[in-house]
Structure 1
Amino acid sequence: MSATKRLQRHLRRTFLTGIFAAIPLAVTVAVIAYVEKASREPVAALLGINIPFIGIGVALVLIYLIGLIVSSIVGKLLLAWLDRLLLRVPVLRELYKAWKEISLTPGGREGIYGRVVLVPDGDQMILGFTSGDAIDGDAERICVYIPDTPNPMAGHLALIERSLCIDLGIPAEEAFKMILSGGNYVPPAIGKALGGELS
Structure 2
Amino acid sequence: MASLRKWLLTGLLVIVPGVITAGVLNWIVGTLDQTLLILPDAWQPDKLLGFHIPGFGVVLTLLILLIVGAVASNFAGRKLVQWGDALVHRIPVVRSIYSSVKQVSDTLFAESGNAFRKAVLVQWPREGVWTLAFVTGAPSGEVAAYLYDGFVSVYVPTTPNPTGGYFVMLRRSDCVELDMSVDTALKYIVSMGVVAPADHVPASFRTQ
2:59 corresponds to 1:53: no
Inter-CA distance 117–61: structure 2 relative to 1 (3 Å threshold): closer
TM-fit CA distance, 1:39:
5.0
Secondary structure at the aligned position of 1:59 is classed as helix
Say if 1:144 and 1:160, in contact at 8 Å, map to a contact too.
no
Match of 2:37 among 20, 33, 36: 33
Q: Specify the alignment match of 1:62 in structure 2.
A: 63
Match of 1:110 among 104, 109, 113: 113
Say if 1:142 and 1:162, in contact at 8 Å, map to a contact too.
no
Where structure 1 has 5 or more consecutive residues not aligned to the other structure, the ranges are 1-26, 45-49
Relative to the length of structure 1, the TM-score reads 0.50
Distance in 2 of aligned mates of 1:35 and 1:197: 54
TM-fit CA distance, 1:124:
2.5
Distance in 2 of aligned mates of 1:88 and 1:119: 43
Which residue type is aligned with residue 88 of structure 2? L
Query: Identity of aligned pairs, percent?
Result: 17
Q: Specify the alignment match of 1:165 in structure 2.
A: 177
Inter-CA distance 97–170: structure 2 relative to 1 (3 Å threshold): same
Q: How does 1:50-129 map to 2 (within 5 A)?
A: 50=50, 52-53=52-53, 56=57, 59-60=60-61, 62-63=63-64, 64-103=66-105, 110=113, 113-121=115-123, 122=128, 124-129=130-135
**Greater relative CO, 1 or 2 (CA 8 Å, sep 6+):** 1
Which residue type is aligned with residue 56 of structure 1? G
> How many residues in Structure 1 have an aligned counterpart in Structure 2?
152
Which residue type is aligned with residue 100 of structure 2? A
Match of 2:197 among 176, 191, 197: 191
TM-fit CA distance, 1:87:
1.6
Distance in 1 of aligned mates of 2:61 and 2:103: 30
Inter-CA distance 159–118: structure 2 relative to 1 (3 Å threshold): same
Secondary structure at the aligned position of 1:110 is classed as coil
Which residue type is aligned with residue 76 of structure 2? V
Once the two structures are superposed, residues 46-73 of structure 1 have per-residue CA deviations (whole angstroms, 9 ceiling, x without a partner) of xxxx563285366235323333333344
Relative to the length of structure 2, the TM-score reads 0.49
Match of 2:152 among 143, 148, 152: 143
Root mean square deviation, CA, Å: 4.6
